[in-house]
Amino acid sequence: MSLRLGSTSLLASGRLKGRRVGIVSNPASVDAGFQHIVDLLLAAPDVTVGAIFGPQHGFRSDLQDNMIETPHGNDCQRRVPVFSLYSETREPTAEMLAGIDALVIDLQDIGARIYTYIYTMANCLRACAKHGVDVIVCDRPNPIGGRDVEGPMLVPGYESFVGQFPIPMRHGMTIGELARFFNKHFTINAPLEVIDMEGWSRGIYGDATGLPFVMPSPNIPTLDSAIVYPGTVLFEGTMASEARGTTRPFELVGAPWVEAEKFAASMNARKLPGVHFRAAVFEPTFQKHAKKTCGGCQIHVLDRQTFKPVLTGVALIDQIRAAGPSEFAWRKPPYEYEHDKEPIDILAGSSALRTAIDAGARAEDLAPIWAREMQPFLEVRQQYLKYR
């Protein structure tokens, strides 16, 4: 059976006839034929599109840097108002939802806790619960597979817009599974319907689905970027570079104080599973160390089945700290609307990772702790998995 997206099944069902809908989407909200969900809804008989809502980076994903708010606007071609949910508000207001019968969410998640689209979805669930609007989530594949779960858990007290719920860094769920999980387990209780996919299984990565890869956000240019992201996104909490401002963000990491060849050799000597580190030198065009030469490495995943992105990302941080203890520093607030907590703590989900690395711990020491801490999550998660 070929893969059928939730959006395709929704449009074929006719369940939106006679309704005025809002749609949360961005450029990745396309079907197998590159048709965008907004255009398909506009062409659907007896369906009115009343509003478009865009997540972080905007409905058109035109704002590349992170933590840059998107203005509201109007889509001149489609003649529909566009509301930003990464602006003065991150939750649809009563005014935005006025006259909307159903809010359709069709966003491409990439399988990491630190990816704001799933929290835009959660905020939409909260708003629709308050204002009595139906929510329809169109399920999409997790592009890095749905089997592996890895990394530290978020601890209560460290919630933010890059982590609202106690889940691990790599959650191994689809956006539809997360919608049901957030809505029921965390008692949001919105009137929710998830339109499941057909033909997807948990071991399938994005390039085996037959679907086009459209960048889900500007700094995830390739599936390779998505595969490493659950670990290297932690570099956002440091003053080393995660290579924003290059053509390979999150696949390249480095810093001005790092000697590339020596660093790559030290990483390869650790014999982490499924990965090779190639010495690389790069110069970001913006963000940290813009216009400065950074030594480091490119992460080449050799075996997706054994590769551990979080283990790898944390190992890169502890090694880059060891390469320049006096130069290495944790990034200071503010970060993603949080002005007090350390950015690395928000990203990791607690202060445990930062304090462990400062005390000289290595990633290999921390991975068994993560595995023990995630056991309760794995038991709850099992209740919400819809695919084998």
| Rounded alpha-carbon distances, angstroms, from residue 49 to 20, 132, 271, 329 | 6, 18, 53, 48
The confidence score (pLDDT) of residue 1 equals: 47
- Average pLDDT in the chain: 96
Can 6-214 and 223-370 be said to share one CATH topology? no
Largest CA distance in the chain: 64
Look at residues 304, 300, 259 and name the one whose alpha carbon lies nearest to residue 281.
259
* Residue 185 three-state SS: helix
Fold (topology level) of 223-370: Aspartate Aminotransferase, domain 1 (3.90.1150)
pLDDT per position as a tens digit, 193-203: 999 999 999 99
| Long-range contacts (CB closer than 8 Å, 24 or more residues apart) made by 360-369 | 361/318, 362/315, 362/318, 363/311, 363/312, 363/314, 363/315, 363/317, 363/318, 364/270, 364/311, 364/315, 366/152, 366/314, 367/308, 367/310, 367/311, 369/152
Mean pLDDT across 291-315: 98
Q: Where are the domains of the chain?
A: 6-214, 223-370
pLDDT above 80: residue 63: no
Asked if 170 and 159 count as a contact pair (C-beta separation under 8 A), the reply is no
Asked if 223 and 250 count as a contact pair (C-beta separation under 8 A), the reply is no
Specify the higher pLDDT residue, 62 or 102.
102
Asked if 229 and 250 count as a contact pair (C-beta separation under 8 A), the reply is yes
Half-sphere exposure of 22 (CA within 13 A, CB side): 30
**For residue 65, which amino acid is it?**
D
Architecture label for domain 6-214: 3-Layer(aba) Sandwich (3.40)
Look at residues 151, 173, 82, 131 and name the one whose alpha carbon lies nearest to residue 310.
151
Model-level pTM greater than 0.75? yes
DSSP state of 238: B
pLDDT per position as a tens digit, 336-349: 989 999 999 999 99
As given in the structure block, the two tokens for residue 336 are 């993603």
